Each structure stands twice: as structure tokens, then as C-alpha cells.
Amino acid sequence: MARKKIREYDSKSLLKQNLKRLANIELPICSAQVTKSTDFTELLDKEKWLSARRLVVKPDMLFGKRGKSGLVALNLDFAEVIQFVKKRLGQEIEIEGCKGPITTFIIEPFIPHKEEYYFAIDSERLGCTISFSECGGVEIEEYWDKVNSIFLPTDSPLTNETIAPLIAGLPLEIHGKISDFMKGVFAVFQDLDFSFIEMNPFTLVDGEPYPLDMRGEVDENAGFKNEEKWGNLEFPHPFGRIPSPEESFIHDLNEKTSASLKFTLLNPKGRIWNMIAGGGASLIYTDTVGDLGYAAELGNYTEYGGPSEEEMLKLARVILDCATANPDGRKRALLVGGNIANLTDVGATFDGIIRALKEKKSELREANIHIYVRRGGPNYQTGLAKMQAVGEELGVPVEVYGPEAIMTGICNRAIEGI
Amino acid sequence: MATGQLFSRTTQALFYNYKQLPIQRMLDFDFLCGRETPSVAGIINPGAEGFQKLFFGQEEIAIPVHSTIEAACAAHPTADVFINFASFRSAAASSMAALKQPTIRVVAIIAEGVPESDTKQLITYARSNNKVVIGPATVGGIQAGAFKIGDTAGTIDNIIQCKLYRPGSVGFVSKSGGMSNEMYNTIARVTDGIYEGIAIGGDVFPGSTLSDHVLRFNNIPQVKMMVVLGELGGRDEYSLVEALKQGKVNKPVVAWVSGTCARLFKSEVQFGHAGAKSGGEMESAQAKNQALREAGAVVPTSYEAFEAVIKETFEKLVEEGKITPVKEVKPPQIPEDLNTAIKSGKVRAPTHIISTISDDRGEEPCYAGVPMSSIVEQGYGVGDVISLLWFKRSLPRYCTHFIEICIMLCADHGPCVSGAHNTIVTARAGKDLVSSLVSGLLTIGPRFGGAIDDAARYFKDAYDRGLTPYEFVEGMKKKGIRVPGIGHRIKRGDNRDKRVELLQRFAHTHFPSVKYMEYAVQVETYTLSKANNLVLNVDGAIGSLFLDLLAGSGMFSKQEIDEIVEIGYLNGLFVLARSIGLIGHTFDQKRLKQPLYRHPWEDVLYTK
């Protein structure tokens, strides 16, 4: 959903292909991607420049400050690159508190350079902010006051005149090249539904603009307009989020349906588990458990909207599997909550949950699960009555509340319970 | 944006992309509020025109349907709200087309997943033309007692519960549509209710923002206080902070930004709404709540305490004498829809049709209780499907194989027989496939193709009554009836019909008993003694063997067999089989581009 970060390798490939098409600018960049499935002989066969040039290699995994973390190697030959990669592939690292293995590298020609320019385009509600600085590079944050920005309203074109104040400090003879490049990148940005592009830095090679480092974000909602232009574009998980098999399963399920299904595992040993309907309400339930001081016991974040009975069954199974996985004799709580629905048939949604509960009867009892239900909306009376009845049938304690109860009241009940 | 009221009790909307339920919900709300005119003036359904019947209270009304936005706006110049139920793929284009109509002031976009760049175009156009966009990714909004967008506020019971049929004093705005409904309940519990409520939608760039609506509420005299429910992600709340700091808002604002839990997640998380993403510190719920509090909004310590501070703020306004007591009205009763009433068990209604052979209501269609997946996976054939749909049971494979052989044998009999001839003539007259097919089928009857049924009936009757072939044949002769299933135009006693031989061989190998066929052969032996062309023909063979199939399979009671023979199952077999040939003849003629057939004069005897 919405904005997705893409790999540097993809950002650069998309830029190279489309800059040619939209602005007739031939970008002389080359890049190659390496993962654990890469066969270096095949790669060399496809990318001949790898053996002909000195190289740079760095992780391509949506995190920054790679140079500062010692993860960028400069001026190597291909054999040294392979050695560098093999030593680090799969290695666990920590970046700003997030831990994870390195899985993907990008290899590029080593470009000795003088100029380091900063260039970024950021999509905002009323237009785009376009930023430029002569002092780009790894120290950009220290020179943040040297970054110039202009705001380009949505319906205005990017012209030499609008760019002029950004690049006023550059030698006059390169104004034309830099302006054309910026206009070209902006055209790609718009045509391919990017929401963010940053080059830090780009330089000049033989007088031609040449991006050394690049970050990109696209608007996933525009995927249907860009099927051909994007190709098989990958949306990697943010660094440090290695999805559990359960999370991947729900993620895949979500991709295939018009319903909304989200599941994030927070603490497999937690004793408070969420099964919450609605984007707004799911957030508030999770907040409330935190506000009450029980964040550490929270097993998961879950949100669902408009699922079919089958989809609800699958989501509920996953949550119940996790919630009952580590029984420790102590009481646990399952929050089946939600706001007062506008149009979801509450009775029907609960049918999927009830099927999952019946399947996991013994697990629920063994894990000492107590179920707290709160929901309103179409047909909620039927839904609540069914939940009450299934509790009696399975011998699992169930408390039900309707629209008259405060939405997050069951969080208190659950916490008192455990 | 700013300025004030968007809707009134006379506001009318155009509804894009016909959806029965949300429109009906709007009209029910209108009736509940005592509106004189329905709030939907017209419907736009691309490519369709006419009228849609809907209820306005007890009465049915016909709402005009237009095929284009332009036509609808021309026909309903006073309708100034455009409610867009298009999918995310087409919502932006239709919304832009609507915004460009001079009569349209407000566009509400329901679809979730509209591309950001498209929304930005809409925002820009709306800003420079003083129009309002609500959404995308929203349920809409409501002005209590006046006008409601689509599915906002859910069921009638809920609307009554929240007293949304008459205006209160609170202006409410949130991102979440689900939570807006929750808050209508909360606000109704602790204040005199909602004046207007808007859900701006969960996208990163909503068409109109929380602060846009707060500033607008500030200009509506009937709104005495505002309640805002924000969310982490984005910076919209800061425009509200600015407005508060600059003193642009002079009514109490009670606000809460949800998403304080984002800190529990180490890495970046995309929550339920597109806009709800843990970004930088500025965009966190904590920072926004703090900024709002410092700017003078009433901000509780948690969502749980939200209700209490709304209550306090309202009671303070009451004490200060700023709230005019609401005149309570009793809303009229909305007649319940039959479907809803039946579902809740309040009424029952007789059905008008009964069906026992198939059911299309579940995950997959079933034939006589057998799901489609079993039919395909277990390698059922057409004969098995006929067995399920005609006989409502799974017959053994030899029976269904026999049915398939009958169909193959009867599929066609050349272009000269009357059925095929009629089909050919019709096809050559330029008629369509179905017309050509039925013109051939309509010739099937006592003289063409109907003999299988009759053969089975007479053979069965004679055999069951124990008549000898002599008694049977002579008895028929006395009644002046030719024995059906006996006799052939070409075939003779010494040159049998190949098809008959094939059927007999199959039956001898697979059928447990062939008593009816043996009886038919005895009858043939007797008729052959009278004339050499009175052989058992294919109709007689199928008719008699079908009796053996029914009796020998042990799966039918005597009554069932009588009924099968009586109501024309065997004729059904012929009709089905011959349809294959007739369709073939139709295609053949069309492929050959044959002109209109005209029978030659020479071939007609003109006489007096």
C-alpha cells in the first residue's frame, strides 16, 4: 500500500531506461545486483564491464549511512569484489537499532570524482520540493544549511527559470547540462509515479551528470498505470524486518485480495493478542494496551477490513496459532475488537473467526485463552450471540460487548484478566 | 477552503457508478430527517441510461440514470455534490471530470488506492476553483438532519442511536471512516450530538485536510465545538496547530492523534491506512498530541480519556450558556426491507420457485449435491452430468457411458431430415444461432425424432402386461397405430442398422439384464415375417435398452421408471443429441456464406 522504497539498483535502472525515453539523455551508468543466488560467472558474462573496470560495492537494502558503517568498498577489481561480498553475504549487522542479515549488494564502476552534488525531489500534497546542493556526499547532514530548495506547485512545469536559483552558485558553463538533467529526472519522477528521489551525490563525468548514489520511492497505488514501465519491480521489506512465515503468509494473502489483511508479530511470548477490524480502530487498540502499560505483553498488530469468510478464517488461524504457541499456564487474552462498523456484516465476519476457534479448541484451552469481544454495526447482535455460544461450546471463557460499551474497554478487561 | 456549510436539507447529489445499497441508505436517511426531496438527484452509470427504482420511505421513486457526467449535470443543475463510487482505477478521471462541471461544488471519492499524483491534480484543481474534495479512501461524511454521503454512519439503527437525524452542536473530523462512526456514538453519548462529521480518508494526501474542515466548522455558527481524531504519519495536524496558534479558531477543539503505539515497533511499519506510517519524530502521534496541546487544543492523555474530555468541554459550553438546547424530534419509522426482515426472522414469505437439481449459492455450483470440483477432478463425463441433473443420482459408469453413446448416435442424421433442413433454411435467412437451432428443434415431435419415447412406452406396456409379440403387434394394428421403433426406410432384415447392432453389443456386454430389448427383438422377428423392412430401428433399440437400463441398474423404483417414461426423458435425450448436429449445420451454412434459400417453382406442384 502507498509509498514503497525500492532498491538503488532498481532506482538507477528505471532512471537510465526512462531518461533516454523521456529526455533523450544517455546515462552512462552501469550497475549489477548480487544476492545469494548470483552466479558470478554468469554475471560477468552479462555485465562485461565488471572485469574491465575498477569497482565499488555496497549493500543495497534501503538503509543509509553505508559509508560511515564501513560497508562500502572502493576501487576493487572483480575478484576483490567477490571476496568482499562472500565475506559479508548473510552476515548480521545492526543499523540504527535494527538488526538483520545483508542479502543484497550493488556493484558499480568506481568513479574518481571531484564534484559531489546533492539533488532530491519529494512529492508533497500541493506540489514537489526540489532540493539541490553543491556540497553533497556523506557529510550532507553537516551541510544541510547549504541545501537550496524550491517548491514547485503541482500544475507548474519545471523550467530553467525555476531551477536557476538552485544552481546559481555553479559555474555558468555547466548550468545547461545540470538543468537538462534535473528536468529529465523530474520527467521520469512524474511519468513513473515516484514519490521521492534522492541523489547524494551525483557528479560530472566528462561533463555529463552521473548519479553515484540514489534512493527512490514509488507510489504503489499507481502500479496499475505502470505495469510495463516498472516491470517486475521488487518492494523489499524495510531493513531489519525479516517477516516470520506467518507474516509472509498474511502478506501474500493481502496482495491477492481487495480486502485488507495485516499481521505483524511483536512478541511470540506475549499474552495479549489482537484480532481487530478497521485501519483506525486497530491502531487505537494497540495504543491502548501500550497506554495501560502492557506493551511488553502485546503479541501482535493486526488489522482487517472487508475479508471474505475464508480469508478471515485464514487470518484467524494464523493469529490463534501464534497466540497458543507457547503455553505457560498463565492466562492469555484474545481481543476480538473493532469500531461500530459502517457496513461490514459483523455476523458474517465472525463466522470465519468462529470456524478458526473451533479448529483450535484444544490449543485454546491449553494456552488458557480468554476471549474479549467488542463490536457494533450491521447484524452485530447475531455476531455477538454466536461468539458467546462458541465460547460455551468450546469451554473457552468469552465476554462480549456491543456498541454501548466504550470501544477499548475490553483492553482493560483483558489486562485485569491476565 | 474554509468558508462554511457544505450541505443543507435541500442538497442534492449525483451518484457515480450505480450501487443500490449506499443510495438506498442515503434515501432512508433523508426520510428519517423528514427531507422533502431525496438527496440523490441522478445516477451516472457509464454506458447505461434509464431509471433506477428505489424507496423513499414507503414510496418507490424512479431516479434518472445518465451515461455521462456532463449529461447528468445538465439534467440536474441544482445537484452540487458528486459522490464517486468508481474503482481506484477510474476514480481520478471521473472526479476530475466532475470538478470541471460548473454545477459541482463538492466531490467525495470513496475508492481506496487512487494514485498520489492523480489526487494531487484533483487537489490543485479544486483549490484554484474553490471546490472541495473529500477523500479518497473515505466513507464520506454527514450533516446531521440534512445530508449524508453513501454508507456513512452505517445502519438506520445506528443513525437513530447517534441521533444523526437532527443537528447537534459538534463538528467532527477524522481520517478513519470506521472510527468516525465510532465517534458519532461516543459524541452522542456525552454531548447533544453531531452537527457535521467528515472522514477525510486514510491516504497520504487527502483531498481536504483535518484543518481545512476545522476552519470551516469554525465559520458555521451552529457548530459550538470541534472534535478531531488524527493519526500518526503526515503533517496535517501541524496546519491545525498553526491555525490555533494564530487564533484562527475561536471555538474549543478537542483532539487526539492515535498511533502512540508506533514506538513499540523497532523498524518502520505501515499501519492500516496508507498515510499511517511511522516516519520521523515530527510525524509521531506523541509529537502531534504535544504540539496540539501546546497550541491550546484539549488533548486527553489517551484515547480512553477522549470521551471524558469531550464531555467536560461540552458541559462547560452548556454552563456558559453557549449551547442552544436541541429540540428533540421523533424520527419516523423506516419500513424494513423484506430481505432484512426475513434475515432477522421477523417475517416469512413464500418462495415462488422450487428447485431440486442444482445449487449455485455456495463456494462452487453443485449438480445434485456433487460440487463442480469433484465433477472435474473425478473425470465425470457428459453422461454423468446428465445422470446428476436429470436423474438426480450418480448412475454406474456403464449407464452413463450408454447415455453418451446414445447422444453420439443421435447427434446428426444428415442435412435432409426435417430438423436439419429447417435449421439450414433459417441459417440461410440470416438468422442467429439460437433462431436457427430452435427452428430445427421445433420439428421434433410424433413424426420426427419422437419415436424413442413412444417405443419405450409401448414396449414397456406390452412387456409388463405379458403380451406375446403377436398380441402386441396385432393389437396395435387394430387401433391403427404403427409400432414405434419398428421399420426403416432403407434397412432390411438381411442388412441391419449398424447403430442398432452397436447398442445391442454394448448392452449384452455391460447390462445385467436386457429383457426389454429381447422382447423388442421378438417383436422384430414377428414383424419381419410380415415385411422385410420392419426391422428394429435405432429408436426402438434406444427405447427398449433404456428400459433395461432403468430396470436393471436397481437404482429406480417402479414408480420412478413409469414417471421417467411418461414425462419424456427419452425425447430429451434426442433433443439434446440432435442440438449438436443442428448447431453444426448452422455454423456450416454460415461458414459457407450460403444465400437465402428459395424453394424452386419446378419442385412445387401448382394445382387447384
In 3D space, the residue among B37, B17, B166 whose CA is nearest the CA of residue B93 turns out to be B17
For B491, the 3-state DSSP assignment is coil
Peptide bond into A243 cis (omega under 30): no
* Residue spans of beta strands (DSSP E) within B34-146: 40-44, 50-56, 59-66, 81-84, 106-109, 132-134, 141-143
The DSSP 8-state label assigned to residue A281 in this structure reads: H
Does residue A3 carry a pLDDT above 90?
no
Q: Are B438 and B586 in contact (CB under 8 A)?
A: no
pLDDT in tens, B438-490: 999 999 988 888 789 999 999 999 999 999 999 999 999 999 999 999 998 88
pLDDT of residue B328: 87
Superfamily of domain A245-417: Succinyl-CoA synthetase domains (3.40.50.261)
Q: Are B99 and B125 in contact (CB under 8 A)?
A: yes
A20 CB burial (10 A radius; 0-12, 13-18, 19+): middle
What is the average pLDDT value for chain A, to the nearest integer?
92
pLDDT of residue B182: 94
Dihedral of the alpha carbons of B548, B552, B555, B557, in degrees to the nearest 10: 70
Rounded Cα distance between B601 and B528, Å, is 40
Pairing of strands B50-56, B59-66: antiparallel
B12-320 folds as Rossmann fold (3.40.50)
* Known catalytic membership, residue B273: yes
Tell which phi-psi region holds residue A327, choosing left (phi > 0), alpha (psi between -120 and 50) or beta: beta
In 3D space, the residue among B210, B212, B209 whose CA is nearest the CA of residue B254 turns out to be B210
pLDDT of residue A279: 84
In 3D space, the residue among A393, A392, A374 whose CA is nearest the CA of residue A383 turns out to be A374
Residues of A within 8 A of B258 (CB-CB) are 280, 283-284, 287
* H or E stretch covering B366: strand B366-367
Q: Which three cell numbers stand for residue B394?
A: 450418480
Rounded Cα distance between A104 and A328, Å, is 39
For B196, the 3-state DSSP assignment is strand
Residues of B within 8 A of A124 (CB-CB) are 205
B515 CB burial (10 A radius; 0-12, 13-18, 19+): middle
Better-predicted residue by pLDDT, A3 or B287: B287
Terminal-residue alpha carbon distance, chain B: 91
Range(s) within chain A of domains with CATH label 3.30.1490.20? 32-109
Say if the Cβ atoms of B274 and A289 lie within 8 Å.
no
Phi, psi at residue B498, to the nearest 5°?
Answer: -55, -40
Residues of B within 8 A of A280 (CB-CB) are 174-179, 182, 202, 229, 231, 258, 272-273
Residues of B within 8 A of A403 (CB-CB) are 158, 161, 185
B339 interface with A at CB cutoff 8 Å = no
pLDDT of residue A329: 86
A 131-160 residues with CB < 8 A to B: 153-155
Rounded Cα distance between A384 and B301, Å, is 30
Residues of A within 8 A of B285 (CB-CB) are 287
pLDDT of residue A266: 87
Closest-CA residue of A relative to B262 is A287
Q: H helices of B83-148, where?
A: 91-99, 116-128
Domain residue limits, chain B? 12-320, 358-401, 411-592
For B176, the 3-state DSSP assignment is coil
| Alpha-carbon gap: A219 to the closest alpha carbon of chain B (Å) | 7
**CATH class as words, domain A3-28+114-230:** alpha beta
Terminal-residue alpha carbon distance, chain A: 35
- Mention every residue, 6+ apart, whose C-beta is less than 8 A from residue B397: B384
Which of the residues in chain B have pLDDT under 50? Answer: none
Inter-axis angle of helices A309-323 and A245-255, nearest 10: 170
Rounded Cα distance between B75 and B68, Å, is 11
Residue with cell 459524541: B187
Range(s) within chain A of domains with CATH label 3.30.470.20? 3-28+114-230
* H or E stretch covering A416: helix A409-417
In 3D space, the residue among A376, A377, A369 whose CA is nearest the CA of residue A398 turns out to be A369
Q: Which three cell numbers stand for residue B113?
A: 488506492
Q: Are B569 and B524 in contact (CB under 8 A)?
A: no
Rounded Cα distance between B502 and B360, Å, is 38
* H or E stretch covering A358: helix A346-359
Report the length, in residues, of chain A: 418
Inter-axis angle of helices B569-591 and B382-391, nearest 10: 130
Note the CATH architecture for domain B411-592.
Orthogonal Bundle (1.10)
* Catalytic one of B76, B213, B273, B488: B273
* Alpha carbon separation from A174 to A146, A204, B142 (Å, rounded): 19, 10, 57
- Mention every residue, 6+ apart, whose C-beta is less than 8 A from residue B292: B237, B240, B241, B244, B253, B255, B257, B299
Angle at the Cα of B129 (from B101 to B135), degrees rounded to 5?
80
CB contact burial A252-275 (16+ within 10 A = b; e otherwise): ebbeeeeebbbbbbbbeebbbbbb
Report the length, in residues, of chain B: 608
pLDDT of residue B278: 56
- Mention every residue, 6+ apart, whose C-beta is less than 8 A from residue A411: A285, A288, A289, A292, A335
A203, β-bridge pairs: A210
The DSSP 8-state label assigned to residue A339 in this structure reads: -
pLDDT in tens, A60-109: 999 887 877 789 999 999 999 999 999 999 998 888 777 889 999 999 99
B341 interface with A at CB cutoff 8 Å = no
Tell which phi-psi region holds residue B392, choosing left (phi > 0), alpha (psi between -120 and 50) or beta: left
Better-predicted residue by pLDDT, A246 or B172: B172
Q: Are B273 and B175 in contact (CB under 8 A)?
A: yes
Say if the Cβ atoms of B161 and A286 lie within 8 Å.
no
State the best of B181, B189, B212, B228 to mutate against chain A, taking most chain A CBs within 10 Å. B181
* H or E stretch covering B536: none
Residue with cell 473493532: A338
Instruction: Tell me the DSSP string of A96-129.
Output: TTEEEE---EEEEE----S-BEEEEEEEETTEEE
Residues of A within 8 A of B174 (CB-CB) are 280
pLDDT in tens, A138-171: 888 888 888 999 999 999 999 999 999 999 999 9
pLDDT of residue B273: 64
pLDDT in tens, A217-241: 999 999 999 999 999 999 998 887 7
State the best of B23, B29, B116 to mutate against chain A, taking most chain A CBs within 10 Å. B116
Q: Are A195 and A218 in contact (CB under 8 A)?
A: yes
State the best of B203, B257, B261 to mutate against chain A, taking most chain A CBs within 10 Å. B261
Q: Which three cell numbers stand for residue B340?
A: 432484512
pLDDT of residue B2: 67
Identify which of B117, B154, B271 has the shortest CB distance to residue A219.
Answer: B117
pLDDT of residue B76: 98
pLDDT in tens, A343-367: 888 888 899 999 999 999 999 999 9
* Alpha carbon separation from B532 to B425, B444, B462 (Å, rounded): 35, 27, 23
pLDDT of residue B270: 63
Say if the Cβ atoms of B266 and A98 lie within 8 Å.
yes
Q: Which three cell numbers stand for residue B126?
A: 479544486
A80, β-bridge pairs: none
Q: H helices of A53-192, where?
A: 78-88, 160-163, 175-191
pLDDT of residue A143: 82
Q: Which three cell numbers stand for residue B573?
A: 435425450
Residue with cell 570524482: A113
Q: Are A246 and A266 in contact (CB under 8 A)?
A: no
pLDDT of residue A66: 83
Rg (chain A; Cα; Å): 26
pLDDT of residue B9: 96
Superfamily of domain A32-109: ATP-grasp fold, A domain (3.30.1490.20)
Rounded Cα distance between A370 and A418, Å, is 9
Taking the complete model, does pTM exceed 0.95, yes or no? no
pLDDT of residue A326: 83
Q: Helix/strand/coil (H, E, C) string of B248-259?
A: CCCCCEEEEEEC
Say if the Cβ atoms of A221 and B274 lie within 8 Å.
yes
